[in-house]
Structure 1
Amino acid sequence: MRFAVISDIHGNCLALEAVLDDISRQGIDQILNLGDHFGGPLEAGKTADILTKQKTMLSIKGNHDRFLLELPRAELGAWDGPAFAQLSKTHLQWVATLPGTAVFEDDVFLCHGIPTSDNSHWLDTPNEKIGMNLRPLADIERDALGFDFPVMLCGHSHVSRLVRLSDGRCVLNPGSVGCPGFKDTRATPYVMHTGSPSAAYAIVVRRNQGWDFTFRHVSYDHMTMARLAQSKGMQDWASALAGGWIS
């Protein structure tokens, strides 16, 4: 078994195209997609056009995908409002067909956040000063209770990370395809930045002796996306896309 894992595209069609090209060059056909396809000021419509044509991609919803379906348009906010405006009825119907979680080949569990919530971080906890810290193992394992799969996949934090649990199960976050940094201004504000503008994804291989995991960071025309964000008045997005940092 060999497959690619992508997550958190956030409307960045150029990053998605680069990642799909790189996956093809690796000779990989199967892609698992952990959601948050569109939220943000970039190219939600073009991203949806690409995703709805994929034939070998298993996709689930992320929290921003769910918001598009559940929230009144007036409440969608600075990320999801612009994305919603670019999506057609057909695009939204495709989002509505996606499950919140999924299982692939009996051994791989897919969720966006944690198994029971698409809006919680599994491997990381926000830190107001430095962005994200690795969560304590006991906390990660608590969220894995009742999910007996050798490999479990999550997104949401945009941080590429692999954690092996005490019993040998593994939890992997492939990182973000299209959003290498963001600012959260809710109850406890924090900034997350990866330090690189590259598009991130992961490759997973099952061998006789166990599972192998490879993180890949792909170059693409990130400055075009940065300028697009800047033109729409989204300075945080422009900064993250240009260099991987929130300035």
Structure 2
Amino acid sequence: MKLAVVADIHGNVLALEAVLADLKCEAPDTVVNLGDCASGPLWPEETAAVLRETNWPTVRGNHDRVIAAGNIPPENRTDSFTIAHLSTESLTWIQGLPPVIQLSDDILLCHGTPDSDVSYLTENVIGDSLHRADLDTIRSRLLGNDTPLICSGHTHIQRLITLTASRQTIINPGSVGLPGYSDDTPVLHKAEAGSPHARYALIEQTSDGWQIEMRALTYDWEAAAAEAERNGRPDWATPLRSGFFGQLL
């Protein structure tokens, strides 16, 4: 079985189209989406419309949850923009996304950790940035879940970790559409992929175990950055162009 894993598209339909073109060449058996689909000052409706057509198994990200609930305060500029630009059909689709998907006995899909869409599975916040957590901390965040392959997003940083004792593999495919961001949960910090590429992962199950390839694709990230600027979000334009967030406020 060949599985493609995408996550954190964040309304960047140009990056999504680059991934779709690559998937045509790779021809996976299944594509799964780890959430945070449309949120952002780019092309939320266009992105959601494409995803609705794919019918990929898709989990709900933390931004998807906020959008689905509605009543977004105006100070949340990102999700306010998103919900204002979504069709009824796309909003209904987002509202129907599950928080976790047990794809098979061997594969679990979640956005953050199995029980939280805002918690990091493999990272700790140290200072103002993300750093890989130790293995005991990662195991504790799985809450005893022993699924052999766990696919998790949320950090926007590609990550592959093997838990030898439990014979588990954890994979974060990185972000399709936003290679850097800031967040204030649990404290103010930033995440940076280090380049503007659109990222996803390919996983193939063989007799020797999981064969995993991390992909990083070029696309017109200048056009994405310009769209963010047109919509009043230069803070998005910087990571879209560079993969680095820049200075925290």
- Return the TM-score normalized by structure 2: 0.94
Match of 2:28, SS? coil
Report percent identity of matched pairs.
37
Q: Distance in 1 between matches of 2:96 and 2:189?
A: 33
Hey, what's the Cα distance between the residues in 2 that align with 1:101 and 1:186? 21
Separation in 2, partners of 1:196, 1:122 = 22
Question: CA offset at residue 136 of structure 1?
Answer: 1.0
Q: Which residue matches 1:136?
A: 134
- What is the SS of the residue equivalent to 1:59? coil
Q: Distance in 1 between matches of 2:144 and 2:126?
A: 28
* 1:122 maps onto 2:121 in alignment: yes
Cα distance in 1 between the residues matched to 2:75 and 2:151? 27
Change (3 A) 1:30 1:187: closer
Q: Tell me, what secondary structure is at the counterpart of 2:124? A: strand
Where do 1:1-247 residues align within 5 Å?
Answer: 1-55=1-55, 57-74=56-73, 77-129=76-128, 131-165=129-163, 166-185=165-184, 188-247=187-246
Using the alignment, how far apart are the partners of 2:126 and 2:42 within structure 1? 27
CA distance in 1, matches of 2:75, 2:187: 20
Does the Cα contact within 8 Å between 1:38 and 1:80 map onto a contact in 2?
A: no
Secondary structure, in 3 states, of the residue corresponding to 1:223? helix
CA distance in structure 2 between the aligned counterparts of 1:202 and 1:98, rounded to whole angstroms: 21
Q: Gapped runs of 5+ residues in structure 2?
A: none
Question: How many Å apart are 1:40 and its aligned residue?
Answer: 1.1
Cα distance between partner residues in 2 of 1:210 and 1:70: 40
**Structure-2 separation of matches of 1:13 and 1:65:** 16
Deviation of the 1:146 alpha carbon: 2.7
Change (3 A) 1:76 1:114: farther
Instruction: Describe the superposition over 1:14-62 as per-residue Cα deviations: whole angstroms up to 9, x where unpaired.
Output: 001111111111122410100000111110000011001014x111100
Shift of 1:223: 0.4
Q: Which moved more, 1:211-220 or 1:74-83?
A: 74-83
CA distance in 2, matches of 1:37, 1:206: 26
Q: Per-residue CA shift, 1:189-230, capped at 9, x if unaligned?
A: 112111100000001111111111110001101100001111
Give the number of aligned pairs.
Answer: 245
CA distance in 2 between partners of 1:244 and 1:35 (Å): 20
CA contact (8 A) 1:14 1:220 kept: yes
Question: Hey, what's the Cα distance between the residues in 2 that align with 1:76 and 1:42?
Answer: 18
- Give the gaps of 5 or more residues in structure 1: none
